[in-house]
Structure 1
């Protein structure tokens, strides 16, 4: 009798819906944390299984693509150089490359600080750790090659008009002024934000571009450091003799570690921690 009473109460709480209405509810219901985890986890496994050359060329393309952020910033810096809102406007350009790379599903190192880590947290193994190290090494090296090529195209090969290169150089100077500790600290915030974008993507299918623009604009306006986009700035300065190779390596290394700490050490662990009891059932 008690069981029948509970079932009766449950029916009273439920809303009677047709099959079509039930489908509409399912289609529009927000994903819960476990669903988000499962989607990002599966994407990470797929990335780990991709051939080495596919990862490499996708990573090179991502490095070149992310450099459009610096080009767009340089263009806006040049166009609004006399405006009191120059800083606010020019940083909108920073979002361009991220939209291209993330929506285009190119291999960006900082995205992989979350997606490929979740499978390791679920089932830790030496083989999984090796696969992640392999992917990270390939993608990071490919991203660096891509951003360096973009800097060479822009300045050395003069593929970008001189006045726009001046704008790109001007907006790059702030990065070179950071100390190694600042590059690391600001990189933590940036790494956390990029990991958050990866986590939120499945929930915002129809507004991904807006979500990417909002959060990457936050990176730009806050002067946080992103190792891939920032490497384009540093390579551009190196080619012009504004900073040394040693300074560039130090800043890239510090930012890299900061992005990993923010994306893997903070966000990935928090994302896993909130669902671990549920996925173990």
Structure 2
């Protein structure tokens, strides 16, 4: 019995090469993260001795995290980011689901014009100046709505959900209509329970987008007290702004090293996504392949 071409198991050299490449890729991802966490837990002497970044600390210190949570700036920024992420993700998921379901029903009112608008928005995005003028004309400057409303519906996510809804069995929906169920009843009792996987993927897409967004806050929020965590992180790390008594409320002599504070803020910005991602990771393959294979 012959084996079809291309189906032979790889030999030992090929498996060894794949293992080395996989280990190298893991090292590229894991080693910087270990360095960030280690630096946030290092003491002043260790940071000074290593020249700024510590790979493995000899002694663990939580002074940087204590300083962050004792102050108002970072703590308030974390609460702002959580609020914007939760509210924005909820509104985005609801509006995207309703729009996608309406576009998936071929008999809906103005089906094709709305679909063309969504496709146009997917291909062409507004510039910074038109977006700013629109937000300003709506009176959203220095409000948290400026971080949510302009990006509440993502055309790519609408297309993903629409493709999934169109693949649902029409027989199930038709039988529900025969039993007297309306569109909202069908959506709530039939479509949504069958779409938990793709909804989890879209919700994660939105949550990551809201959590990591900083440029919209830089444009629309002039009040520093309203800044989300990512913008505070950019100010402290990217701009190399010194984190001191005014931001943390810690005496200068007790202030942890700047590198430790900056890395601690970075760790706090990463943790929520790391916590949420494993619960929806198994849905990603399904969500990415939606609409790619018909049948």
TM-score by length of 1: 0.25
Q: Which has the higher contact order (CA 8 A, sep 6+)?
A: 2
Structure showing the higher helix proportion among its residues:
1
Larger Rg: 2
